[in-house]
Structure 1
Amino acid sequence: MSFILVLLLMVPAAARAGDLGGGSSGVPGTWYVGADPSWIDPAKSPIVFVHGYNNSASVWWEGNDMYETALANGYQTAFIDLYADRDMWENGALLAQKLKVIYDYFGQKKLVVVGYSKGGVDAQTALVHYGAYPYVSNVITLSSPHHGTQLSDLAHSSTAWWLAALLGNNNDATRSLQTGNMAYFRSITDPHANAKLNRYYTLGGTKWGSFGSATYWGGLYLSSYGSNDGVVTVASSRVPGGIIVREGAWNHTMIREGSYTFSVFKPYTMAAQPAVTAANASMESESSGPGPDTNQIVRGGKGDKGIKDSFVIEDGAEGFKLAFLSDQRLPSLKLKGPDGKEYNVAGIEKDTSDFFKGAWVHQFEIDQPDAGKWTVSGPAAAYLYTVGIESPLGAEIGMGPKSKSLKATYKTNWIQYHMDGKKKLKEAGKGSKAGIVADGDFTEEGVYNLTTEVKGFDAKGKPFERTIIESVYVDGFGKVHR
C-alpha cells in the first residue's frame, strides 16, 4: 500500500470538471478535464489541447474562449501542461505517456489533439517517435512551426543571441525551432512508418498586426520568407503529408482563440471526415519557403555609454521600416538621415511573442528614404535592430556571388551549437572562399547558426548592405540539413 501511495503521489492528478476557473499549475505532466457537455455525442471525439512555447495549459481558457466554445459545441475536453522551455523530444515523451492516460480516462475513445504553435510539433513527436498514435485519430495544428521559424534563427544568431539570453528566451525550446534543426527533424519524421498512422490538418495565419503592434516587427522580419502571422510563416505551418484546412487573416495569438478558429477546424474533430478540396491538396505541395533573407539589415550590441550605430540604405529604395529592440524603453531614441534630418520613434510596444518576449520594440517607418548612411542613437542600453528594406535590389542580392551586376564582399560568423547545448563562435575564412561558408566547413554534429554580412556596390557603383541569417544541422553522418 505504501508503494502504491508513492506512485499516486508521483503522478499528477487530473483536475475534474469545474476546476478550470483559475490558472494551471504549470507543473509538466499535469492535465485538466473540462466539464462534460449536457449530452455526449458519440460522433464527437474528446479534444486534447496542447499549448505552445512559453505557455501553459491555461492559455486555452484564460483570455481565450477556446474551452467554452468547445464545451458549447458539445465536446469533452482535456488540457495538459508540458515543459514551457524544453525541446520536442522531452515534451513528446511526456505527452505520449499522458495521452494513454487521457485515452483511458475517456473510455478508450480515440482523441483529437489540437496543438498550438510548438505544441503541434510536440504532438507529432509524441505520436511518431514515442508511439502514441493508437490513442489519437486526428491532429490539428494551429500555426505550428513544422519547418522551424526564422525568428528562432535570429534569436540564436551571433548578432542577437545575447539579447535573447538576457531576456531569458535562449533555451532548448527555441534552439530546437531553428530551421536547420527542424530540417533534420523532418528528415527523420516524414519517412517514419508511424507518420502515416494519423491524419494531420493544419491552419496558418497571414496577419501580423498594424504598424507599432507587438507582433508587427516579427511579421516584418519574416515577410521576406513569405506570408506569416508574426511568428511562423504560412509555409512552415504546413506539415508534409497533412491537409491544409485554411490559411487566413489570423495573427499568432488570434489563431488559438475559439471564436476565430474553432468553427474552422470543427469538421475535422468528427468521426466522419469531410472531403478534401482540390485547392487544399494542391497547396500542400508548395515549397516550405524561400531561402535566406535578402531585404534585411540586422545589427546588435551593447551601448555602455550610449547607442550610436549606422547602416546604409541603397539608391532606389522605396522605403524601410526599422524595429529597434532593447531591454529598456527608450522614448528618446532618434534616427538621423544622410541629410541630417532627425526622426522620432513612431511606436513603442513590449514584445509579447516567443523569441524576444519582454523586449521593448521601438519602430520607425520611412518612405522614399535618401540613399546613404542612416544613424540610430540613444541612451545606454543593450539592443538589436532590424531594417526591412523595400527595394528591387533584394532579388539581385539573393543571387549571391552569381550576380553579374553587383560587386560584394561576404563575411560570415557562425555559432556552433553542440549536442550538449554548449556553443562556440567561429568566423569564416579558413577553408572558406570569399567569406562564404561551404558545407565542408561543418565538421562536427550539431546546429550551426550563420550570420553573413554583405557589403557591396550596385551596377551604378552605389553602396548597399544586407545581413543574411540562416541555420543548418549536421547529422552524425556528416549530412547537412538546411
Structure 2
Amino acid sequence: MGSKPGWIDPAKSPIVFVHGYNNSASVWWEGNDMYETALANGYQTAFIDLHSDLDMWTNGELLAQKLKVIYDYFGKKKLVVVGYSKGGVDTQTALVHYGAHEYVSNVITLSTPHRGTQLSDLAHSSTAWWLAALLGNNNDATRSLQTGYMAYFRSITDQHQNTKMNRYYTLGGTKWGSFGSSLYWGGLYLSSYGANDGVVTVSSSRVPGGTIIREGSWNHTMIREGSHTFSLFKPYTMTAQPLSLAYSISSSEMVEEPNTNQIVKGGKADIAIRDSFLIEDEVQGFKLAFLSERLLPSLKLKGPDGKVYSAIKSEQDQGEFFEGAWSHQFEIDMPAAGKWTLTGPGAAYLYSVAIDSPLGAEVMKSKQTKSVKASYRTEWVQYRLDSKKKLHAAGKGSKAGLVSDGDFNEAGIYSLSTEISGLDAKGKPFERTVIESIYVDQDGKIHR
C-alpha cells in the first residue's frame, strides 16, 4: 500500500497500479513520478506485484484475489485500476474471467497490447527465437501476447457478460525515439503496422468497448510516467464521471494489413556471421537494425558496389521483448541495387531491414494483379495449449507457397514466417519477409 494522503477525499477512488511484462511494482516509483504525483493529488494508492513472465490467466487469477483484499482494506470502496502494458490485459482477465469486476469501477490502460503485439510474433518466429530464448524472453507472458492468441482472447472476452461491468479507458503512444535510441528499432519494425510507441501499436492500445482518453507523442516508457499522463486520466479516477467522452471504440474495428516493406532474418552462427539480403532498384533508402546478445564492434555491412559500412550507433534495447539485446543500427540512402552482406563474429542474431520503396505495395497486390512475379515459402513454429492454458512448443513445419487455413488443423498458436522472393515489373530481383501469428481454437476456428 502507498502512504496515506494528508486528507482522504471521498470523491477520489483508491488507485491500484498494475505493472507490465518484465518489470515489477517499483516501475511506478523508480525513475518515475507516477506514485509521487498520485500521492500529491490526494489519492490512496496500492501497488501490486504479479509474475513478470507468466500469462494473463495466472496473473489474472492472482490479481483477482489481491483486488478483493485491497477493496476490503479501503473499506469496500470501489477501486480504479491503472494497468501499464501487459498489466492491462492481466487486469481485464481478473475482472472478466475471474469475477473481480465487483471491486472496481474504472480501468485505465497505458499502452496495453489489447490485440497483442507484432514484436511478440517476431520473438516466437523461426527467425528470432534463438535470440529471444538467449535473452530470457521466450516465456508464457510473451507467448500469450502473440497477435493470433490475443485475437482469440478478444473473442472470448469482448462478448462476455462481465466485460460491461466496468468502464475501460485507454491511452496510446505514437513516439519511438530518434535514430539510435533504445526503442528505435522496435518502433521501426512496428511502423509497418501503423503508429506505435516502440512496443505496442496505437491500434492495439485500444480496447473494444472502451474509450480513448488520448493518443499522443509518448514512447512506451514515457506513457507510464506521472508527469506525462496522470493529469489526463485523473478525471476518470473520480467517483463522479465526466459527462463527455472522447471516442468510444467499436469491437468491429480492424487492424489494417501491414505494408510489405521489410526483410527479417536471423539465426545462430557459432563461428562467424555471414548473411545477405537483396535490395531492388529504385529504393530511396533503408534502415537496418541488427540485434545480438552482445556488442559486435566489428560488425560490417558491405554493398554490391564494394562499399563497407560500420554501424552508426549501437544501443542496448529496452523494448521488453528483446530487452538487453544490442541493436547495431545502419542507415543507407540511395543504396546500390543488388546483394548486401553482413559479416561479424559468431553470435545469435536477428536483423530487420525497413525499405523505402514503392515495391512494398506491389508485393501486397501481387496476389491479385500479378504486377510482380513472386514465390513464397512459409515456416512456422507451433505452440499447443495444455489443460491449464499453458503454451508449449509443439514442433515446426514449412510449406512452399502461401499457407491457407486448411493447413492448420491442430489447436494452438502458429507463428508464421513467410519469405517472399521474385522479380519486380522490370525483371529485377527482390525479397521481403512477413511475420504473423494465428490461433486455432478447439473448434478449429482460426483467429488472426
Aligned to 1:335: 301
Select which of 399, 402, 408 maps to 1:428. Answer: 399
**SS of 1:43's equivalent?**
coil
Select which of 428, 437, 441 maps to 2:403. Answer: 437
| 1:180 paired to 2:180 | no
**SS of 2:291's equivalent?**
strand
**SS of 1:163's equivalent?**
helix
Q: CA deviation at 1:285?
A: 7.1
**SS of 2:355's equivalent?**
strand
Separation in structure 1 between the aligned mates of residue 182 and residue 235 of structure 2, nearest angstrom: 32
Separation in structure 1 between the aligned mates of residue 10 and residue 72 of structure 2, nearest angstrom: 16
Separation in structure 2 between the aligned mates of residue 317 and residue 284 of structure 1, nearest angstrom: 38
Select which of 10, 24, 38 maps to 1:56. Answer: 24
Letter in 2 for 1:261: T
Taking structure 1 as the reference length, the TM-score comes to: 0.90
Q: CA deviation at 1:275?
A: 3.0
Taking structure 2 as the reference length, the TM-score comes to: 0.97
**SS of 1:437's equivalent?**
coil
Aligned to 1:230: 198
Q: CA deviation at 1:272?
A: 1.6
Aligned-residue CA RMSD in angstroms? 1.2
Aligned to 1:303: 269
**SS of 1:214's equivalent?**
coil
| 1:348 paired to 2:319 | no
Q: What pairs up with 1:20-99 in 2 under 5 angstroms?
A: 33-99=1-67
Letter in 2 for 1:280: Y
Could you tell me which runs of 5 or more consecutive residues in structure 1 were left unpaired when the two chains were aligned: 1-32, 430-434
Q: Is the 8 A contact 2:171 2:212 kept in 1?
A: yes
Separation in structure 1 between the aligned mates of residue 332 and residue 253 of structure 2, nearest angstrom: 32
Letter in 2 for 1:83: H
| 1:139 paired to 2:110 | no
Aligned to 1:322: 288
Aligned to 2:241: 273
Letter in 1 for 2:427: G
The CA deviation string for residues 247-302 of structure 1, in whole angstroms up to 9 with x for no partner, is 0000000000111110111011011211334x524x65784422245111011122
Aligned to 2:384: 418
Count, aligned residues: 443
Q: CA deviation at 1:343?
A: 1.1
| 1:470 paired to 2:441 | no
Give me the identity figure in percent. 74
Separation in structure 1 between the aligned mates of residue 304 and residue 310 of structure 2, nearest angstrom: 15
Q: CA deviation at 1:461?
A: 0.6
Could you tell me which runs of 5 or more consecutive residues in structure 2 were left unpaired when the two chains were aligned: 387-391
**SS of 1:306's equivalent?**
strand
Separation in structure 2 between the aligned mates of residue 445 and residue 292 of structure 1, nearest angstrom: 26
Separation in structure 1 between the aligned mates of residue 307 and residue 77 of structure 2, nearest angstrom: 67
Q: What pairs up with 1:375-390 in 2 under 5 angstroms?
A: 375-390=341-356
Q: CA deviation at 1:403?
A: 3.1
C-alpha spacing 1:380/1:141, structure 2 compared with 1 (3 Å): same
Separation in structure 2 between the aligned mates of residue 428 and residue 276 of structure 1, nearest angstrom: 52
| 1:103 paired to 2:85 | no
C-alpha spacing 1:87/1:114, structure 2 compared with 1 (3 Å): same
The CA deviation string for residues 106-160 of structure 1, in whole angstroms up to 9 with x for no partner, is 0000000000000000000000000000100000000000000000000000110
